[in-house]
Each structure stands twice: as structure tokens, then as C-alpha cells.
Structure 1
């Protein structure tokens, strides 16, 4: 068995070393030669590669790049472990990592609660028109824009994707007296919701929540056909990934009144597009569902632990030049 050897680790984070506590930095420096770089905004590929060259383990967030593609991976021949500060993996070419025998770690559970709570926030905003009420109070428009809403109690919430977040959304929605139904391609054990076929969820739900993952390279699958199958007057909530939904189709669905509204945790429509629909029918929350004090702390700790685990595993693995 090969002996242990020194691991070189490079972490790119928005605040550099200030991202981590002293204890977290000490723990990482105990297992690796650590380099932490402050990267507050997206880097060109060449700059990212230059910062990470020579590293056995790399830690990345989506601040640094939106796409860890095969070209980046090929340009880092020493890379043997990648830890991403994210739940979704669609922005990483996992096939290229597998081909290079590179380990991948992500953070699947650090923001479950806060994203579920944010989803209920989107739901309450759409049902009670809270975003419009604030604008009315600021004098941005007059009484011709209705603030009349509707109650959640007795309504049907349909969840597509009954994983961690979907299950927590179901639990929270139950507290409002909503009937919760769901569709998932996998078997799910839950008492918080009733399993139905996809068409039945779309046809019966007053509100549909997308809580499913996005597959790399797959086009938007929630398209005009699925929107047409939704109950007329329903609301679509997307706290997951904007790439799940055909933006043109959902905008058209809202404009013609088939959908009562669409809320998405990102910024995907510009002012000209929003002008084509009634005020308040589209709500964008600028990718803030995860952004809470608790989730930030939990995410950094989970990221630290994944970096430590990768370094520990790789210390006893032979270097690529030693293989065979």
C-alpha cells in the first residue's frame, strides 16, 4: 500500500480566507497545503485554471464559475478531488470527472429548510400579493392594480420531486391546511402527501411546486405542453432551477391567463418581458432561497467537512504518476 503524501488544496471563495473560521482553516491546513483565493465574481476559464493549477483538491462555488466543463477539467491534470459549494451538480461535467478518476463532493442538505421556507414565502407572496402591496404603499401604482388575494387553506399543492426540499415543503404546506399531492419518479415513503401520476398532479393542483433537479445538458422540460396540462388559473412555483422551465412558454401561459402566476428563485425576465403581463403575475427572487445566516454557516461547515474528507481519502491514494 502506498504511503500518505502531501495534498495541495486550492479553494476559491467570495470572501477568501474570511469565508472560514479559524478552526476550519486550522483543520484544512492540518491535512493539506492550503491556498484560499478571494473570488467575488465569475472568472474567465483561463484565470480559474491558473489559480487551480497544481492542486490535488479544489473547492469551488458558483461565484467563480457557472460551468465546470470538460475543458477546465482537462486543463487541471493534477486534480483528483472537487468539492463544490452547491446542492445541484448540473454545472459540473460529472462524466469528465469520472473519466479522470476525480472524486466529486457536493452539499445536498445544507439549505433544505431555508429553501422550503422560501418556497412558502413565494407561495404567500403570490396568494396575498405581498410584493404588490409593498409597491402600492410606496406609491408606485394606484388602485387600478388589485391586491385581492386568496387563502391557502383547502387548496391543493402539487409537488414535482419529493426529495429533501419537496418533503419539507409538503410538511410546511400541511400546517396551512393545504391538501398536498406529489409526483416523483422514485418510490417515496411519506404521510405528508398523496402520490399521483404527473398528469393528475398538474390537472388538480392549485399550485405546482418544482422541487426536482436539473440534469446537465437537458433542455427545459417543463414546457408549453406541461403548462397546458395544468389546471386553468393555477400558480407555478420554481424554487429549484430556472433551467427547468421554458421561460417563453410560461410567460405566454401567464399572458393569456391560463396561469395565474409564476414565481422563480432567479432573475430570468427583463423589464420588457414583464411589461407583457399584468403587474405581480411574475415574481423573481434573484436566487436568494438559500441565503440565510443559518444556511450560510451550515454550508461553510459542510464544505469544510467535504474538503477534509477528500484530502484524507486522497492522502493514501497513489498519485497518478505512481499508478500501476
Structure 2
């Protein structure tokens, strides 16, 4: 079975080479999938896509003409997929629903600690032989109230870690988990009572720009906001205003709503013309990582193995339970 892998990096090739079924024949393309380069998949039976690949109606229609009947997402999110068009065209979509929730949860808490204790600043100071600690004052996580918006596997893993710090946990989800280290409240209560707010929900029409002018106004002054889920949950321009007004005291982002043209690439020799992103980088209380929260050896193994299983199930006319429908 021939599979075209888009947005492919060396670690993707290494992962599939080590953990995928050897009968799968992968062709790797480092470019993001879009309507202009989908023809690279000519002659393949399936496409393997990542978070920023374009699986809109236009691209899916071109795939259908080429005879491609399967898209294997090597990620959990699927906001970049037009599921209605896929169903109408008979193109099966499968994802990796959970590969390592602990990986993202641990990165989330690492961002909280780095912002709080200013570890990134301390690291740079010591490298410059500056051992003064003025300006590095943090706060105890113990006893602080953390609001978790979204309590799927990642939200639950984050809750378990924070419970160990002695944090008070407030949670919100449209589908509450049966067992959780915190208790469920309304979104408004999370906004009003939390010292730290962490986002762990999917991006869909109901959650797009969940963090906006109205929700920000309900938060405590100096709130810490962390997003390791999807960039579109946050209205970035509104957040910049919140940073300027000191409503937001700390901001940690592993995702960005316009990340597709920036993240996963080495742009060190180029000029980034995204003025909103560049403005974010000017704030001393902002920490941005390049969508790396998932990036552990354990997660890559799970992604490669489950993606391989999804592809092999399709080849054999079977299902895995990871298929997506509208």
C-alpha cells in the first residue's frame, strides 16, 4: 500500500521506519498539503497528514479524482478536515485519538513553572555571568487555583500532575469525566476564580476564540493563561491587549492561530512578516514554543504505530474505531 506523507520531518521518517508495518510504502514530502501540491500523491492509495495540512473540500475533491480513498491523520485534532465532504466523496478519515496525553500535560506544567519561576530568564542571566536574582520572583503553585477547560485525556493528565503540587482544580467540559482530581464548575466561575487557566479542548465552531474580550474581562488581574491545545481557541489580538493592560500576567503558548506558515520550520534566516506574532515576542512575560508539547519518544512511537494500524485496517477493509464521521 502506497502512502504519501505530507509535512514530513526526519523524525516522522524515523518513526515510521521503526514502528510502522513494513508492507506500507511511504513517500515523504516536507511541504504542507494543499490544493497546489496534492498531485504529489498521484499513484498512492492514501495520504498521511498532520495538524496544519489542508484537507478542505477543494483538496479532498482533487484526492477523490486521483482515486485516494483514505486519509490517516497522525494527530488527534481534525479541525483542518472537511468531514462532510470526505463522507460525501467516500474518503475515510482516521486519526490518532490519544498518543501520549502525559507528554502534553507535562509540557503544559513545564510552561507554567517556567513562566512563574522565570527559568528562561535565569538561564540566560547565568550564561552571561549575571547571578543576581532581582526580577525573578515567582509564587508557590501550592494552594493556587487552576482552571482546566477541557478534561479529556490530556486535561485529566494535567489535573493529576497539578493535584500533586497541591493546587485547587476547577474544571469545565461539555462531557465531564467520571473521575477527576478537581470538580466541575461553569466557565464563568473558572474565569473569575482561577489564578491559572489552561486550555485542553478541541477547536470547533463553539470553541473558536473561546478566549476573547468578554471572557478576558471576567478573569482575575494578572492571570496566567496557557494554551497547548489549538491556536484558534485564543483571539491573539485580544490577548495582546490583555498583556498591555496587565490583565494577563503570564502567557504560555505552544500553539498559535496563524502557526501554519511558521511552526515546524527553520525561519532563522528569513523575515517573519506576521506582525501579530512578532508583537507577542516583545513581551517579557510571554513564552512560546513551536507546537512541541506532543514531542516525546513515547508519543512518536504511539503516533507511528496507531497511524500504521489505521492504514493497515483500511487496506484490509476493516475498521479500528479511530475513524471520523461528521
TM-score normalised by the chain length of structure 2: 0.83
Aligned partners of 2:149 and 2:172 also within 8 Å:
yes
Q: 2:9 aligns with which of 8, 14, 27?
A: 14
| Per-residue Cα deviation, 1:246-302 (whole angstroms, up to 9, x for no partner) | 111111112111111110103665444433x4x2x1110111101112111221111
- Partner SS state of residue 109, structure 2: helix
CA distance in 2, matches of 1:164, 1:247: 26
CA distance in 2, matches of 1:290, 1:25: 22
Q: Does 1:250 align with 2:268?
A: no
Q: Does 1:76 align with 2:52?
A: no
**What corresponds to 1:37 in structure 2?**
27
Q: Does 1:274 align with 2:281?
A: yes
**What corresponds to 1:220 in structure 2?**
209
- Range 10-19 or range 137-146, more displaced: 137-146
Aligned partners of 2:4 and 2:29 also within 8 Å:
no
**What corresponds to 2:36 in structure 1?**
46
Structure 1 stretches lacking a partner, 5+ long: 1-6, 316-324
CA distance in 2, matches of 1:96, 1:140: 59
Residue 155 of structure 1 and its aligned partner are, at CA, apart by: 0.6
TM-score normalised by the chain length of structure 1: 0.83
**What corresponds to 2:104 in structure 1?**
115
1:144-223 to structure 2, matched below 5 A, reads 146-215=135-204, 219-223=208-212
Structure 2 stretches lacking a partner, 5+ long: 260-275, 320-326
| Per-residue Cα deviation, 1:91-145 (whole angstroms, up to 9, x for no partner) | 1111211111221110111031100010110111122111121122233999697
CA distance in 2, matches of 1:142, 1:270: 31
1:265-304 to structure 2, matched below 5 A, reads 265-266=254-255, 270-275=277-282, 277=283, 279=284, 281-304=285-308
- Do the aligned partners of residues 205 and 59 (structure 1) sit closer, same or farther apart at CA in structure 2, a change above 3 Å counting? same
- Aligned-residue RMSD, C-alpha: 2.6
- Do the aligned partners of residues 21 and 152 (structure 1) sit closer, same or farther apart at CA in structure 2, a change above 3 Å counting? same
- Partner SS state of residue 168, structure 1: helix
- Range 103-112 or range 139-148, more displaced: 139-148
- Partner SS state of residue 50, structure 1: helix
CA distance in 1, matches of 2:193, 2:19: 51
CA distance in 1, matches of 2:63, 2:101: 32
Larger-Rg structure:
1
- Do the aligned partners of residues 217 and 45 (structure 1) sit closer, same or farther apart at CA in structure 2, a change above 3 Å counting? farther
Number of corresponding residues: 297
- Partner SS state of residue 45, structure 1: coil
Q: Does 1:307 align with 2:311?
A: yes
Aligned partners of 1:17 and 1:37 also within 8 Å:
no
- Partner SS state of residue 208, structure 1: strand
- Do the aligned partners of residues 142 and 241 (structure 1) sit closer, same or farther apart at CA in structure 2, a change above 3 Å counting? farther
